[in-house]
Structure formats: structure tokens, C-alpha cells
Amino acid sequence: MKDLEGHVDAVASDLEYFRRKRIEPRVLLYLRRGIISWPDLFRGHELAARQPEPRPQPDLELRIRALEDSLDELILSIATASIPSATHAVAIDDNRTERGDYNPEFRLAARTYEGDVETRIELLEMAVAETRHLVASFTGALVHAGEVTEEALDENRRRLGDLGYRNGARIVARAWTDPDFKQRLLETGRAAVRELDIPPGRLGKLGVAENTDDVHNIVVCTLCSCYPHDLLGNPPWWYRTDEYKTRLVADPRETIRDMFGLEIDPERKVVVHDSTSDVRWMVLPRRPEGTEGMTEEELAELVTAESLVGSTEIPPPR
Amino acid sequence: MSGGRFAVGDRVRVRSHAEGGNPRTPAYTKGRTGMVTAFHGVIDNPLDHHHPYPPLYTIVFRVADLSGKTGADLVTADLHEEWLELA
């Protein structure tokens, strides 16, 4: 691990995103609507208190890795608890009103985690543990209130855990080997992935942008962080950074060079696709040279999460 | 898919304001001119909208028209009909 500060920054930015936009507003909304009550939450807290806390690591690098792992686990718990309500339509779980407007009144205060690296790690460890406690209390409250069953939560967690960019890798490998499938994928998006026994998900339409010798595609969501995450799992962490969002649409070629070290051939056009919740984009990368004899499974192993966003190209196999 | 007011290939300008329009329309497109490259019809997206918005189009803009950078690079954004007018 080279850049300790960079890793800590990424954890802080991700934690704040999920805390302020995904879980705390949802808890507040459920309380406001009466879907759960304060007593439900307190009872949930009693259950949550029994969860073991992870033991601290002595080495700084190991601590950061443990922090990153606990953040991943936290994000999965938040996604699991964000199960649709059986009795109420809950459209939005961040600081938007239900029509989709951003309203600064609803914005939760941001926290900074400042200090030297060790202090920052300590503050983040505490914040992750506290948020984990909140998620566990909230999940317990949902069960108490009869909103969800333990079984439904387990099922949701299992389904989410299976997700990930591997789905994307399989889609790409099939598109490389089966031109008819590729055509269906480009034309129908989600409907085509059923052929691979991948659940197509239902978060708006899936746009697929094919990289060619003439065009390099890259995906962004300038308004928030829309991504076909129901199909491809979470995007790389920098996808949610303001730097990426604002710079990419202003000067795509230079941003790709600066942020990812990828030099796009001047002969190729760069096309940025701005995702919304209605159309979420993925990139179909170019098949690298030297892969002619490879099977679909072997090809899928070459595909990276970054290549599905378009920040990298897939290098030829060594 | 029922028809929309614009066709693929139309040059359209993005309005600066659209009363009651989908608020999630990127600011950098407002007042800018682009071309319709796809028509998606009305999107059924109950998780994010409590009521459906007018039909959706993919609009392609030249980066040169958005930020003044030279070159042929493009940005596509998916915009709802109430934000668009023929250029």
C-alpha cells in the first residue's frame, strides 16, 4: 500500500456518502412516517449491542485494510437494510424530496476526520463502528415493526453479496464471443442479460456503450452516483468524487489522462455518458489482442470493474 | 412505445427552466444545443419518481459546445421532453 492518506481519504469519502445519503436519512424518514417507532429502534439497539466489535490491528497498513473491509461490510448491511418496505412506498433514501428535488434543508451535516494519519484512522474506526451500530439497530427495528422478516433480510443479503462486477465480466465475455448477443445487449440492455441467467434488475434502463477503434466511452453520473449497481455491484470509489464528476464533462480526454493515466489515441473520439436513475450506462470494452483462442470463461477473467466504467482498457493477457 | 415531440437527428436546445420538470437535469446542459440520438419513451421508474415524467431522449453534445474545449469529444445526457425545444 503506497498512499496511506489516499486510502484514508477514500474511506472517509465513502463512509460520509453512505452515512449521510443512504442510512441516516432513511432512518429519519422511517421515523417521520411512523413506519418504525423510537421504541422499535431502542429494541433494535439492544439486539445490536450483542454484536462483537472487530479487534484493532497493531500495524497501520493492516488497520487501513481492516477499516476498508469493515466499510465494505457496512455498505453491504446498509444495502441489505434498504429493502423495499412492505407497507409504504419509499421512493428516495437520501436528501431529496420524493419528487427528486435536492433540498438543502434535508442535508445532514458533514463530518471531517482530521488529524495525522493515525488519528484519522482512529476517528474513522469509531465512525464505522457507530454507523454499524445504527444499521443494526435500524434492521432490528424493521423486524420489530413487522416491516421485514429475518428471512427476507438474509435473502436480500445473500443476493447482494453475489452481485458484483463479475456479472459485468460475464456479460462482456459473452458479447465478445457472440455477435448476436452483443447486438441484443446494445439494443435491449437489461433484457439480454437474462440469457446468462443474471437477474436483470429494475433500476431504470441499462445503456451499453461499445468501445471501438474509433470511440472510447466512459461513464459518469454528474448529479449523484447513478450506476447499474443492481447488476454490476458498486462502482470504483472515485466514481462518487466531485473531481471526477465535474472535470470529466468539461474535458474528458485530459481528465482520463490525469486521473487514470490512460492516453486515448487522438484518432479516437471520447464519448462521456452521463447516467441518471432512468438510464444507467456501462461500457463494453474492446477485446484485447492475443485472446483469439480463449474461452468465454477465460475472457471473463480479464475484465476489470474499472473497464466497465471506461477508465481503463483491458490489456492483452501476458 | 408512443411517440414523442422530437425525432432522432433533431437539433434541440435545453431550456434554462422547466416548471414542474424533472429536477435532475444536469446544469451544464442548460441553454446548450445538442442532437437527439435515441428515444426511450416514458420511463417507468417507481423507485425514484412517484409519477412518470414526459418521454426521455438521449441527447449528444459536443464538449466544444459545453466547455469551449476544442476537439471532437462528446457528452451524452438523458433528458426529459419538457426540458427540450427545437433549435
DSSP-assigned letters across all residues of A60-116: HHHHHHHHHHHHHHHHHHHHHHTPPPSSS-----SSB-TTS-B-GGGPPPP----SS
Cα of A155 to nearest chain B Cα, Å: 20
Mean pLDDT of A45-62: 70
Task: Tell me if B1 is assigned to some domain.
Answer: no
pLDDT at residue number A14: 82
Can you tell me the distance from the alpha carbon of A57 to that of A77, in angstroms, rounded to the nearest whole number? 22
Chain A positions touching B60 (Cβ under 8 A) are 271
Distance between CA atoms of residues A112 and A125, nearest Å:
13
Nine-digit cell string for A75: 455498505
Q: Please tell me the distance from the alpha carbon of residue B70 to that of residue A217, in angstroms, as a whole number.
A: 18
CATH code, domain with B60: 2.30.30.50
The lowest-confidence range among A23-32, A134-143, A208-217 is A23-32
Active-site residue among A225, A275, A307, A311?
Answer: A225
In-domain check, residue B5? no
CA distance B73 to chain A (A): 5
Q: Strand (E) positions, chain B?
A: 11-14, 33-41, 56-62, 74-80, 84-86
Range A71-77 contact pairs with CB under 8 angstroms and sequence separation of 24 or more: A71/A11, A71/A14, A71/A15, A71/A128, A73/A132, A74/A15, A74/A18, A74/A128, A74/A131, A74/A132, A74/A135, A75/A14, A75/A18, A75/A234, A76/A157, A76/A160, A76/A161, A77/A132, A77/A135, A77/A136, A77/A139, A77/A157
A87 pLDDT more than 80:
no
What superfamily does domain A164-309 belong to in CATH?
Answer: Nitrile hydratase alpha /Thiocyanate hydrolase gamma (3.90.330.10)
Q: Closest to B26 (Cβ–Cβ): which among A89, A253, A274?
A: A274
- The total of structural domains in chain B comes to 1
| Coil/strand/helix, residue A2 | coil
As a 3-state breakdown, chain B gives helix, strand, coil percent values, each rounded to 5, of 15, 35, 55
Residue B50's pLDDT band, with cuts at 50, 70 and 90, is low
B48-67 residues labelled b (16+ CB within 10 A) or e (exposed)? bbeeebbbbbbbbbbbeebe
- Cα B47 from Cα A89, distance rounded (Å): 8
Task: Evaluate whether A310 touches A198 at the Cβ level (below 8 Å).
Answer: no
- Best of A212, A272, A275, A281 to substitute, by most chain B Cβ atoms within 10 angstroms, is A272
Put simply, whether B42 touches A (Cβ < 8 Å) is: no
CB contact under 8 A, B74 and A269: yes
The answer to whether residue B38 is domain-embedded is yes
What would the pLDDT profile of A271-307 be if each residue is shown by its tens digit? 999 998 889 999 999 999 999 999 999 999 899 889 9
Interface mutation vs chain B, best among A85, A186, A249, most B CBs within 10 Å: A249
Supply the pLDDT for residue A180: 95
Does residue B68 lie in a domain region? yes
Query: Per-residue confidence at A100, pLDDT binned at 50, 70, 90?
Result: very low
Q: How many beta-carbon pairs under 8 angstroms link A with B? A: 94
Q: Where are the domains of chain A?
A: 4-161, 164-309
Q: What is the CA radius of gyration of chain A?
A: 21
The C-alpha atoms of residue A225 and residue A232 are separated, in whole angstroms, by 14
Query: Is B23 close to A99, i.e. CB distance below 8 A?
Result: yes
Q: Once rounded to an integer, what is the mean pLDDT over residues B39-57?
A: 79
Q: Quick one: pLDDT band at residue A94, thresholds 50, 70, 90?
A: very low
Which ipTM value was assigned to this complex? 0.94
Residue B6 within any structural domain of the chain:
no
pLDDT in tens, A142-168: 998 888 888 888 888 877 766 667 789
Tell me whether residue A13 is one of the annotated catalytic residues: no
CB distance A272–B67 less than 8 Å? no
Q: Which of B87, B86, B59, B51 is nearest to B75 (CA)?
A: B59
Q: Which of A252, A274, A279 sits opposite B40 (nearest CB)?
A: A279
